[in-house]
Every structure is written in C-alpha cells, then in structure tokens.
A and B are shown apart, each in its own frame.
Chain A
Amino acid sequence: MSELNELSLAEARDGLKAKRFSARELTQAHVAAVERARPLNAYILETPERALGMADASDARIAAGEARPLEGLPLGIKDLFCTEGTRTTAGSKILETFTPHYESAVSANLWRDGAVMLGKLNLDEFAMGSSNETSAYGTVISPWRRNGSEAAIVPGGSSGGSAAAVAAHLCLGATATDTGGSIRQPAAFTGTVGIKPTYGRCSRWGTVAFASSLDQAGPIARTVRDCAILLGSMSGSDARDTTCADLPVPDFEAAVSRGVKGLTIGIPREYRVDGMPAEIQRLWDQGAAWLKEAGATIREISLPHTQYALPAYYIVAPAEASSNLARYDGVRYGLRVPASDIVGLYEKTRAAGFGREVKRRIMIGTYVLSAGYYDAYYVRAQKIRTLIKRDFEQAYAAGVDAILTPATPSAAFGVGEKASADPVEMYLNDVFTVTVNMAGLPGISVPAGLDAQGLPLGLQLIGRPFDEETLFAASQVIEDAAGRVSLPKPWWA
C-alpha cells in the first residue's frame, strides 16, 4: 500500500472504518509530510499537537462505534477562517498577532463531523491575488514544475496554500474561499478539484471578509468525490449569516455517480477569447466530447456580457473591500503603530500593516465610492452585474443544465513572472471564473490534462443556483475520462 497521506479522502475514510489503520497513524503520516514540505511554504502555521490530540479522540470514537462523517480525516484550513485559540492572519501583517476567541461556521462544521486540523494554510493577503505572491508570510511554491526545469511555479491564488498542500499530499483536503476565482484557479493550476458553491450555500460567519457579496467558502481536494464529501460537511444554514440560505444540504456524494445522460451542456462562445492558447481550446473541445460520449447534449450558447464581468468586478470587489477592511485600525485587534493623534494612528498602522496589493484595492474602492463617482462607477457596475446574471438565467431558462468553459486562460506561470507594474495583467487570470461570482452561481474546476510543458490544466463547469449536484455528476465524467492526474513526486523532501 502507498503512504497513508497519498490516499484519497474517501479511501482514508473507508480505511479507518475497516480499521486498516488508526486516525493517529493517518495523522502522523500527514504531520511528517507537512514537516518535510516546508520548502513549499504551504502552511503558515502547523498545529501537529492539536492534530494528534484530535486524532486520538477520533480513534476513541471509532473504537466506541460512534464515528462521525469525517472522523479522523486530517485537513488543512485556509488562514482566512477564524480558528478559536489558533492564530489567524489572513496572510496579512496587520493580523500577525490575532488569535480569535471564536470558530468560523465552516471550520466548526468540519470539527462537528470529526475532522482533524493539521494547521493554517497560506494565501494571498486578505485573499487578494492570483499567485499567492502577495502573502506577508512568503510565496507558496507549487509542487509542480515544468518538464526539465527547476524554476519555481506559482500554485495560483488566493487559495494557493490550500491547492499546493492538497497536490503535495500535505492534507486529504482543504478549505478555501473564492471571491473571483480563488478556489478554481489554484485548483486548475495544481491538478486538483475545487468547487465554489452557490452564494449562500456555506455560512460566511467567522471567515475574514474581503468582498461580502462575492465571497464563498468551498473545498479543494484530489478527487470530485472528496470535494463532494467535504462540501456536504462545510455547508448548511446559519442564523449568524443573514445571506446563508435556509436550504437542506443535499447528499452531494450520491450525486457524483449520477452521470450526464439527458443533460444539456452549454458552450458559451464569448469564452473563446483572443489569444487563447490552442491547447486550451483543444482541452475545452475534448471536455465537450467526453460529456457528449457520456450522453449529454452539447449546445453552443451566448453570454453576451461576459467581457464586462472582470472590469465590473474590479469596481464591486474593491468597493466592498475598502469598507470591510476599515475595521483594521490599530485599536481593536492586530498591529498598532503609535502616533500622537488618532488619525495618525490609523494612517500609520494601515500603512505598515497592509501590503501593496491590499492598499491598491482599498484605494480604488475608496475612490469609486467617493462623492461624485459613486453613480458613474459603483452603481453602473452593479447594473452590469444584473445583466451578467440575466445572461446566465436566460441560458438556463432555455434548457441548459450546466455550462462548460476552460478554468483559466493558461497553465500556471513562474514565481515573479507577472510582477509587472500593471496590476491588470494579473487580474486577467480570473477572466473565466469571475462571472460566476458576479452571478452568485456554483462553479467547479476539474483537472482535464497537461499542457506541452507538463503543467496541469482544468475545465470549469458552471451550474444553476443551488445545483452543485449536477456539477459533481458532470465533473466525475470528466475525471473518469481524463484519468486521475498523476501528482508530482516529492522533489522537496
């Protein structure tokens, strides 16, 4: 048998149930792998003692015949989810000393179901970034490398630590969040599966806020089934988040094997963007062919406002961020730089505590919300958001069950390769994913092949509101057809 940390989450669950190994053994294998993988910088904080304590408690429950759905399964938690008694930084220097006195709803749901916490995973600062290079705790290095090269590759972002840890077998699965593509783009870059569920499926309570009308939590894991299992535990209604839906959580795992017979899959022509690499186009065509062979009908559709989603996002998201991040003022928590008056205290604290990308976005948000510009920028962007959502509603009303697109416009790039002075170059990474956040829809990224340099590429499926089940069914078809990605051997250990 392979190392215990190389099992899928479902295999590990079944192995624990059959008592082939203990939760302590499974956790110990992960703790050792995490220690060896420090050069990847995927974890900001390792919590091995807590992990082994939780594993022992799980072994006791398994022995007593009281195992819960995720009993004894070791996971990594993106450092944007508040964890009671365990430091939570959001990847920012301004929260370097912040230890929450409460637990986020999503992580609390995982512990309720018996999961084990290995530690807190690296991310772009306040989840603002597409390469994990904006973290105050250093860049995450992808376990992937180009063929014949030792150059460091980014894992994507903002959930870069989550994606790298899952791809490098440093946890069985991880929590992540997605505001414009922060689950799906890193999943695509690392050959892993990541789903952003419908807005409202998971509670946002206790998750550090970036853009509240766009933020959603979801899992990254190595298989479609593992993602379905994790999402089932992470979701659910919560009175503390007024935007969290009061809907029952479906049996996502059961949906994985449903197949796509009789479904209609839309192919939006506006996603065929100028300069798209031929291999991305081939992958997309291949994905459609796989779904067709499995019994789906493929139909070309139009989503005419697609091109406006990214610019509208760069008004809405910074506007909400400027408001959400106003709380970091050096008074109530985190960093404080002393000054003789209160305004000086705010200004110096925020100047020292926030990184460049975060400052940039707060300032853009402040500008578009300021007197005289609010209607021209913010209100116009929200009207365009209505149009983007309407495009999807019309496609679904015409009988489309899910929409297939590439997940990203290219494979992962090298560390430092996109450090140009123009921030927009980095933003273009999210061109295929951001529409989904703007419309509040569920979207999943599933590995579908490798590019010419040996780096993974993903396909995205977009669903109807609260129909993640169809996405699991269709992505399982792609996973079966493409074959499980062969993840990199540990060159870092």
Chain B
Amino acid sequence: MSVDAQTVRRIAHLARIAVSDEEVAPLQGELNAILAFVEQLGTVDVSGVEPMTSVTPMAMKKRADVVTDGERAADVVANAPETEDNYFLVPKVVE
C-alpha cells in the first residue's frame, strides 16, 4: 500500500501536525519508503496466531480504590504556557 498527497494531508491533520505545501511531497516519499519496507509482513502466515497483548506474562496490578495523591494543582500547571487560577488557558472552544 502507498499513500498519495491527499492522504498525507489527512494523516497530518489526524496527528494534529501542520504541514506546508512544500513538506507534503518529501513526507509522502518517506512514508511510502517505510510502508514499502513493512510490506513483507504480508507474506507471513499468521492464521491462528493471537496478537501479543503483554510481552511478559503478568497479571495486571491492582491497588485499593483509595485516594493516594492530589492537592497539587499548582505543581500540575507549573509548566503550562498559559494558566489562570490553576486552570489551563486555551482559545475559546465553545461559542
């Protein structure tokens, strides 16, 4: 499978990365090189094989359903580019 220029733009938008017109053609070439490389996986017989979900056999760890952390709003927003009263600021989303 290979991607055309329109698909490159669609993927970029899904990935929330702005691409300029000049970037589309080189990206298309690079993505198609990678897709051509992974094409060989189509020749492997995977019938009856379970997809891997955990690389080491282990039971999911669970902890008691209790509050163990919190009251650190100032720490949470400390690295944010724009905040007000411990809220993250973004451009207006809802009219």
Residues on A lying within 8 angstroms of B by beta carbon are: 97-101, 198-200, 213-214, 239, 242-243, 245-246, 305, 307-308, 311-312, 314-315, 322, 326, 329-336, 339-348, 350-351, 354, 359-360, 362-364, 366-367, 370, 373, 376-377, 379-387, 389, 421-424, 427, 438-440, 465
Contact = CB atoms under 8 A, between A and B. Distances in A.
Nearest to B16: A346
Interface in B39-84: 39-42, 44, 46, 49-53, 55-56, 58, 60-61, 63, 72, 75, 77-82
Contact of A213 (B26, B50, B55, B75): B55
A339 B17 contact: no
Interface residues of B, number: 53
B22 interface: no
Interface of B: 1, 3, 7-8, 11-19, 26-27, 29-31, 33-35, 37-42, 44, 46, 49-53, 55-56, 58, 60-61, 63, 72, 75, 77-82, 88, 90-93
B10 to A, nearest CB: 9
Given A360-B27, A379-B51, A342 B91 contact: yes
A316 to B, nearest CB: 9
A391 to B, nearest CB: 12
Contacts of A332: 77, 79-80, 88
Instruction: Tell which of B35, B38, B46 has the most Cβ of chain A within 10 Å.
Output: B38
A101 B78 contact: yes
Nearest to A343: B16
Given A387-B44, A423-B34, A336 B60 contact: no
A311 B79 contact: no
Contacts of B14: 366, 370
Given A322-B15, A380-B46, A423-B30, A200 B58 contact: yes
A198 B15 contact: no
B28 to A, nearest CB: 10
Given A200-B56, A243-B56, A370-B11, 12 more contacts: A198-B56, A199-B55, A314-B34, A333-B80, A335-B81, A347-B13, A379-B51, A386-B50, A389-B52, A423-B34, A439-B55, A440-B56
Contact of B49 (A329, A331, A387, A465): A387
